[in-house]
Each structure stands twice: as structure tokens, then as C-alpha cells.
Amino acid sequence: MRQLPTRRTARRGNAHRVATSSGTKRPHVWRRAASWSAVHRPNMPCITNRSARRQRSRQKERERVMTALDSEVSTAEANAGDAARAWLSAFEDALVAGSEQDLQELFETSAGWRDLLAFTWNLRQAHDNQAIAELLSAVVDDIRPTGFQVDGERPGPAIISEVGTPATVEVFFRFSTAAGEADGYAVLTLDGVDNTARARTLFTRLVSLHEAPPVWPPLGRFDVEHPTTRWREHRKERCEFAERSPEVLIIGAGQFGLMTAANLGRLGVDTLIVDKQPAVGDAWRSRYESLMLHQPHNMLHFSLMPYPDAFPEYLPKDKMADWFETYASCFDLNIWTSTEFVGGTYDEPKGEWTVSLHREDGTVSTLHPKHVMMATGGSDIPNVPEIEGMDTFRGEKIHSSRFVDGREYKNKNVLIIGSGTSAHDFAHDIVRNGGQATLVQRGPLIVVDLPTAEVLYGDYRNREIPVDLTDIRFQAGFVYHQMREAFIGYQKFANEADSDLHTQLRNAGLEVWAGRDDTGFYYHYLSNSKGGYYLNVGASNAIASGDIKVLKYDDLAKFDAEGIVLEDGNHQAFDAVVFATAYRPLAEGVRRLFGDEVADKLGPIWGFGNDGELNNILKPTVQPGLWILEGSLPMARWHSPLMALIVKAELDGIVPESFKAQGHPSRTPSVPVPALASAFGTTPDA
């Protein structure tokens, strides 16, 4: 996770595209400004009524100072490049030699490594130099990495530390493995005496397979290859799966389903998506009318097809819905809408699933995919608490999934059970449209003002910086112990920045906290049930002003016909109740679709696991052929290419069999790794 903004991020904001003399842009080459002075050179004052000699003298002095600064920075950047290349060479030598001792010496004691498929065919982490060396040594003979070099298509090695602190260098690099091409990112600390480097952070990622190159672009003419078939007929036939089963079945046409299917199609994998909604994008269209995304434009790009520049910084939900539909059309994705996945069983000897699908016309289709990917966005089972007397309430009672528009509650008094993002949005929409709203808070809430939250997003706020660079830097920061420390540092900043708002909210009766151990909202999102926080886009101000009321859940005794009775005996009348209480855990959805045996075998889903990665999310599970795709839209962009690569590698027999065995060093540990167990108890998120 990135640190708080410093001169490092300020300089990154001045990144620019390097152009040839003819003005033609070189593809994908972005660099910071050439020197400190080029960015920070002061504006020269207008000098009048002075002698030309004094003007020339001062101008020469300025030029001398600027030249010296440029020279100093150029020398430092040259040293950074030399140190980075030397480290990569030494790293490769140590891997070839299989020397754990040499590998340990290349890393700081508290270093972190995060690997996405390149070395482990898994999502794995190691949290100190000894653990890194041990894991690398355990897999290197099968992976056979070679050809480590600075990535010429990305910014060259650069100093990213503050003046006066130990020199820290970032380097983007590339290398090859026995299976494919890979890339990486490292943060190195330089020794001030001999300019040698040790890695603080290492990130490695598989990006392609030697034996399965992309099948795009299709260069032939359709009418030549299919002279008697029309395009529309061809697409209809491919989508029907009347005489074949897909290699991969994806449940859900949300962000993960669409992006993963597109990346699978890029590798030539026959894929079908099924979704219960009538049309692609309806999961967004059917949500409440006031919904706007709270993350900036650059953070929400789709894999393979970024948004056009005309898109607003914050997308309305209907624009997002239309983009889903456009994306599916552009990539010719095979999708069955109005189709419900009824259930599936796995045939281990055949290595395939038998799945039942309830179609729109009432028929049931049976297919036999090799892989099933669950991308439902949750369990889809509403979580509604049991409250005494609820069945006697005569007003409207709905779950948040059925809330549409605050305008429907003009001149009405609405009780909202829950206090997360949706609850805040509902209440704000209701009071802005002439209604009254009361939130019932069930647990403490992390509240961050939107401008404060955007600080965490760092370079995603700058459309001039390519998203893939920010993605790599961001993902590299998810080594658990480094990420947690960074989140705590950010939350300290957020607490100070939003202290006045928090005081006002507490005075209004809302319980505000900073998350477990002051780790903040994003850690809370990853470690718990993805709720429990609100990024303020107006509702907090309405609470502070008294326009939105707050009650504690423990103060609610029961419902009656007209409203609620509080523990102190007071009565409050309401016209409607909205249960903004989210959904049951995803594990319950797995149990409903695949049965107890599979659900019990998988164990927990979501939350930090034994090595700091998420439990059973976006990586191989103990159930062959079953993949759980879950998370935010940025996570879908990051991981959908990886999911396509690992599934294609499984289909083609590229993954070494030894790597699939539970207990292999590449697999997720069965108990918490020592660095996490000692610091955080039995599990990192316990």
C-alpha cells in the first residue's frame, strides 16, 4: 500500500509521455520529469530598471544553480539504475545457484514478497528475508526463472525517497519462466557507502504463457472463413451451446464475470456466462436511483478496454450498467441471461462438472464444463435480523435490494436498519426529497470524508498516469505486514483530517471508530464482510445537522403495528422500514449451489488467510475446478487476466502436478505463517 503523499507522489504527478522528434508517441513509455529543477524551478521575477550587467549576472547564477541541481539529480538517477540492474543480476544468480543464504542477503530483514502465479501458480506472500529465500528455493527448480532485466516499456529505475533519507529506488522489471513471461516491481534501499541494494518489497506476476499465446486479433475475413453463414447466425450458434459444453462456466455477469470471460476469450478458451438478470448490467440498473460510484474514474477501468476520456470522474450507476453491456458486446461474450444456476457436482475421474441451469423458458439445461467460476458478487441471500414484533408492523417492509428511489418516501418517515454505505445513501436520498429518515446503527462505523479517502487512492486520481503503472505499485503494497502498517499510517492522517466531522457525528449519536487497531476502512473491507464504513458524500453532514436521525440497535426493543418501541418505553411511529443489512456470507451461497461437502472442504471465504492473502478468493481452491471471483472493480481488473492464465494453464496441463498438492510450499499454508501468527494471534483477521 502506498504511503501518504510526499514529494515522491508530487513528482509522479508530473509524469509525461516521451515523444520522438516527429511527435509520434512511443507506446507505453512514461517517465517522471527529467529532474527536480525541471519540476520545482521557481518562477523568475520580472526585473525592471536594473542594469543589464546585474541582470546577466543573476541569470548566470540561476543557471549555475539549476545546472548543479540537474547534475546532482542525473547522477543520483544513474546510480539508481546501476544499483537496480546490479540487484536484478545478483537476484538471478542467487536463484540459479539455489543459494538461500545469497537470496536472504538481497532482502531487508523485514522485506515482503507477493507473487501472483509467476513462481507459485498461486497468490502467495512471504514476510521476511528468510521466508522469502525459503519459498523461492522451494519452487525455483520447477519455475526456472531467467532473463531478469529492467522493463524498457515502463519508467526506468528512479529514486522515490525524500531528500535526506536513505535512498530508495523503484524498478520495474521483466523475466521469463518455464511456463511464460512475467513482470515485476521492486523497492530497493541503497547502501550509502557502496551503492549496493537490498529489496524492501518484491512483486512478481505472470503475464503470458509460452504455449498459449493470445488468439487476438482475428485477422481473417469472416465471409471467407464462413462463406455460407451470416455473422448473426454464427454468433447465435456459438452462444447456444446446443452440441457442446463450454470449457469454463462463469456464474454472474458482473465485473468479474465479464472481465474474466474476455480474458479467457483472448486465450481461446470456450466460455459461457450465466446470469439471472434479464440483461447484462441489470444488477446495476436495478439498484437505487441515487447511486453513484465513490471511486475516481481511473480506479475503475475495465481490463482490456479502459473508459473513454469523456467519462465523468464519478460514474452514475446507469452509465456503469450501460458500460457492462457495451463491454460484453465488444468482446462477443457468450451470455445466457434470465438463467439461474441451480447446482453442480464434480466428477473427479473425468475432471468435469455436471451443472443444471434453469432457463427463461422454464427448461433445464445440463452442461459439463471443466471449470466453474463463481462470480455472483455475494451469496444473494438477504440478511434480515429477527426483531420482536416485526410481523405486526403494518407499514412497508423491504430489504435494501428492493429500495429504488427516495422520492417515493416524500412526507413519509422511514426507519433504516443498518448504517453502512447503502443505508447512508438511502437516508440522504429520502431527506433530500422531502421525507424523514432514521438510521439504526448496529455496530461502530468508519467514516471518511471523500476528499480524505481520495488521498489513499494516490496516483489513481491523475488521469495522466497510465493505470497499469499505478496498478502494479498498488498491488505490490498488499504484502500483509507492510500493507497493515501503511493502513494504520493512513488512518492516523484520516483521523486528524476528519476530526471535526467525527466530533459532530458523535454529538449526533453516531458511534465512529477507526477500525480494528486503527487500520481504517480499506483494511476493514478486506478483513471482514466488505461493509462497516461510509465515504462521506453528504449523508454525514445531514446526520451532523440533525436532518438524519440516529438510533442504537440495542435501544430498539420491538416493533408494533405503527412503529417501534424503545427500551426506555418511548414509541416512535414510522411509515416504512428498510433493512440495509447486506447479505449472508458468500460461503452460504457456495453451500447452496454446490452442497455441504464442497462448502466444508473450502472453509472460510474472504478475510485474510494464513499467509496474508484473502481466503479462497481469486486463486486455486482445494476443490478442483472451482474458482471464487469476488471483490471490488479494481480487483476485477487486476485479477481477471491472472484467472484466465491459471485456468488456461490448468486446461492445457501446464501447471506442475506437484504444485497442486496440499502441503506443497506454493500452496496456502494450513496454519498462519510465524510472522503473522506471532503478531496477530491465530489468524491475521481474528
Measured distance between the N- and C-terminal CA atoms of the chain, rounded to whole angstroms: 21
Per-residue pLDDT band at 47 (split at 50, 70, 90): very low
The full DSSP string for 266-300 is HTT--EEEE-SSSSTTHHHHTS-TT-B--S-GGGG
pLDDT at 54: 59
Is residue 127 within 8 A of residue 657, CB to CB? The reply is no
- Of 214, 332, 353, the residue nearest 273 (C-alpha): 332
Q: Which residue has the cell 480487483?
A: 635
Average pLDDT for 262-276: 98
Q: What is the pTM of this model?
A: 0.88
Average pLDDT for 673-684: 58
Burial of 152 (0-12, 13-18, 19+ CB in 10 A): exposed
What is the Cα 382 distance to its own chain's centre? 24
The C-alpha atoms of residue 343 and residue 591 are separated, in whole angstroms, by: 10
Per-residue pLDDT band at 450 (split at 50, 70, 90): very high
What is the Cα 320 distance to its own chain's centre? 17
The C-alpha atoms of residue 596 and residue 588 are separated, in whole angstroms, by: 9
For 450, the enclosing helix (H) or strand (E) is helix 450-457
Per-residue pLDDT band at 164 (split at 50, 70, 90): confident
The C-alpha atoms of residue 343 and residue 362 are separated, in whole angstroms, by: 16
pLDDT at 29: 35
Residue 294 has pLDDT above 70, yes or no: yes
The C-alpha atoms of residue 372 and residue 257 are separated, in whole angstroms, by: 11
Lowest mean pLDDT among 38-42, 402-406, 426-430, 667-671: 38-42
Residue 674 has pLDDT above 80, yes or no: no
**What's the CA angle centered on 620, arms 614 and 622, to 5 degrees?**
100
User: Cα-Cα-Cα-Cα dihedral of 85, 87, 89, 92, to 10°?
Assistant: -140
The full DSSP string for 169-211 is EEEEEEEE-SSEEEEEEEEEEE-TTT--EEEEEEEEEEEEETT
Give helix then strand counts, H and E, for the chain. 21, 27
- State the cell numbers at 585: 456470507
The C-alpha atoms of residue 246 and residue 373 are separated, in whole angstroms, by: 12
Per-residue pLDDT band at 63 (split at 50, 70, 90): low
The C-alpha atoms of residue 679 and residue 681 are separated, in whole angstroms, by: 6
pLDDT digits (tens, 9 = 90+) for 78-134: 788 999 999 999 999 999 999 999 999 999 999 999 999 999 999 999 999 999 999
Lowest mean pLDDT among 24-33, 188-197, 305-314: 24-33
Lowest mean pLDDT among 175-179, 409-413, 582-586: 582-586
Residue ranges and CATH numbers for the domains of the chain are 80-209 (3.10.450.50), 222-375+629-653 (3.50.50.60), 390-579 (3.50.50.60)
Backbone angles phi, psi at 298, to 5 degrees: -65, -25
**87: three-class secondary structure by DSSP:** helix
pLDDT at 58: 62
Per-residue pLDDT band at 232 (split at 50, 70, 90): very high
Backbone angles phi, psi at 554, to 5 degrees: -70, -15
For 17, the enclosing helix (H) or strand (E) is strand 16-19
pLDDT at 166: 82
